[in-house]
Structure 1
Amino acid sequence: MNDIKLISDETPQEVKKYNLKIEQLEVGKSGKVGILDVELKENNELKTVITKQFSQVPLQIQRAVYPENSLPGMAYLYIISPSGGILQGDRYKTDIMMKNNAVSHITTQGATRIYSMNSNSASQMVNITLDENCYLEYIPDQIIPYQNSRYYQKVNLNIHDNATLIYSEVLTPGRTAMNESFDYDICYLRTYCKNQNDKFRCLENMKIEPKKYDMKTKGVLGKYNIVGTVYVLTKKDKIQKLDEIINEKIEKSELITSGTSILPNESGIIVKILGNNTEDIFEKIYHIVKITRREILNAEFTKLRKN
């Protein structure tokens, strides 16, 4: 189960060049390969439950909880890791499959911390598959790349045209409390989406090498340090209205700015959010979740407290 050739084989050359021999635990050793495989289905009681599950430390998932009064069958899941962060040589793979009208909200226990590296890189692959009429809010915490870290993440979204996914990612400049800001070597985030017939829906590559390029120039981040991205993938007949509501309701200010674009063939919406405070970014993300859930499920969203 710890064969993750798919991850390393798809790692871009810009990241692969860092993959030298590790003096500590090498790639593929026990504790270096995290695997999580989860399947969710709606049962006869209209409750979304985990029907299949496999995990290999350092990736685990807590059992489902059901905190929403307006959606009592909606499963909330937390992805957890006892390691506290991602080290050089770590290779993670997460597979989430949703079938039979499953409805879920998935998040993480805390930020994805990418520790400092001197001889290798780290990579993570996330595969999310939604069958017809399934609904998922996948809202992980922020990515924090430490000084001299190298990280590659590929997210494969296989989303039915009649399903709904809200997927977000937030990238910070590093450990600002330790006076680190854009001191990592590379952070390469790739998101690819197709439908149930393997028809292309969208693709985004975000390759950041802050030691080579000034991230604070105009046209890049300017006065901001944190970038958030939200994908809303849903039925075509919902896209225009959702885009209008999001643009109307997501207020802009001097502290934060955002903008939306409709994806090719009206297959979804992408929202970019820039700011200097992760809480401000997530407030906007949760607002987008609230808007989308109301439009798609006619239900209210209650922001969870993780502390």
Structure 2
Amino acid sequence: MGELALRIGVRGGRSVASHQFHQGALRILRPHYLDDSGQVCYVVVNPGGAYLGADLFVIDVEVEEGAKLLLTTQSATKIYRTPGSFAEQRLRLRLGEGSQLELAPDQLIAYREASYRQNTHISLHPTSSLVMSEVITPGWSPDGASFRYEELRLRTEILVESSGRSGLLALDNLLIRPPTYDVTGLGFMEGFSHVGSLIVVDRRVDQALADELHVLTDGHDAYTGVSLTATVDGISGLVLRSLSNSTEDLNRLLGACSALLRQRWHGTAPLDLRKY
């Protein structure tokens, strides 16, 4: 079990934490800055090392007007056996006017007999910018077989808040429920074992950008599709999803897409988190 709250504001031209709180099996490391853009980077840590059955982790993040946050994790999120009940993470993100949030956690690894639910609720201003990535990996199994986890449910709801009104921009549901028979061939995830996702919300998102990102993924060993969301109060989003057989391949693909956006929109270099 764990709870974490973080609020980011602006002070002296740099983004800083105006509030932080944690309890249970969640911590946050001291802030650092990767460049001179003023964007602050925080790293979430789970000292327990894994999520177990009936565990509930609640993370609440607010990025205030004009603030910039990069949020990542110290290591992979591991879901072990969950007898009796699933493990769950609830993530709430709020982005103020002109704010910027990059969410770049390490991979989610689901092990044998694991069941996991992840509910992400995002509310943002029409002038804010969001880039969030995720990679899902099947964990090691004693018999060497893939997809020994039971079920993964990831639900992401994105709302645009403006002038006291709230509009639904996107509702993304990802359900992976491996069958009990052999799943190494076509018919289940087209024979692939890993899933990568990139969600981007920004006023500069359009069909041309979606097409450009799709072309960029052609150079990677993955099967990828890109779709646009609705447009609400002038802001749009896109969802990129890739299938592959390697965490490293998906990290390179998502990293290339993120690097393009960082350079074009913010004039910053590709991410180099150097955790290992």
Tell me if TM exceeds 0.5. yes
Looking at structure 1, the residues matched to 154 and 92 of structure 2 have their Cα atoms a distance apart, in angstroms, of 14
2:129 paired residue among 139, 159, 164: 164
2:103 is aligned, of 133, 138, 141, to 138
SS in 2 for 1:63: coil
Aligned length, in residue pairs: 270
SS at match of 1:184: coil
Letter in 2 for 1:256: A
**Superposition map of 1:101-180 within 5 A:** 101-175=66-140, 179-180=144-145
Deviation at 1:178, TM superposition (A): 6.7
Identity across matched positions, percent: 28
Q: 1:186 aligns with which of 137, 146, 151?
A: 151
TM-score (norm 2): 0.91
Amino acid at match of 1:203: L
The question of 1:35 aligning with 2:3 is answered yes
Residues 215 and 222, structure 1, Cα contact 8 Å, conserved in 2: no
One of 14, 20, 31 as aligned partner of 1:64: 31
- Taking structure 1 as the reference length, what is the TM-score of the superposition? 0.82
Q: CA deviation at 1:217?
A: 5.4
Q: Distance in 2 between matches of 1:301 and 1:41?
A: 23
**SS state at 2:190 partner:** coil
The Cα shift of 1:302 comes to 3.3
Q: Mark the CA change 1:148 to 1:217 in structure 2 (over 3 Å): closer, same or farther.
A: same
| 1:278-293 aligned within 5 A | 278-293=247-262
Distance 1:238 1:191, change over 3 A: closer
- Structure 1 unaligned spans of 5+: 1-32
1:273 paired with 2:239, answer: no
Of residues 195, 200, 214 in structure 2, which corresponds to 1:227?
195
In 2: Cα distance, 1:288 partner to 1:154 partner: 24
Counterpart-to-counterpart distance in 2, 1:299 and 1:168: 18
Task: Tell me the equivalent position of 2:54.
Answer: 89
Summarize the Cα distance change of 1:240–1:295 in structure 2 as closer, same or farther, 3 Å threshold.
Answer: farther
The two structures, once aligned, show a CA RMSD in angstroms of 1.9
More strand by share: 2
Query: For 1:271, what is the secondary structure of its paired residue?
Result: strand
Residue of structure 1 in register with 2:269 after alignment: 300
Q: Which structure 2 segments of 5+ residues have no match? A: none
Match of 1:53 among 20, 26, 29: 20
Name the CA distance, whole Å, in 2 between partners of 1:294 and 1:220: 36
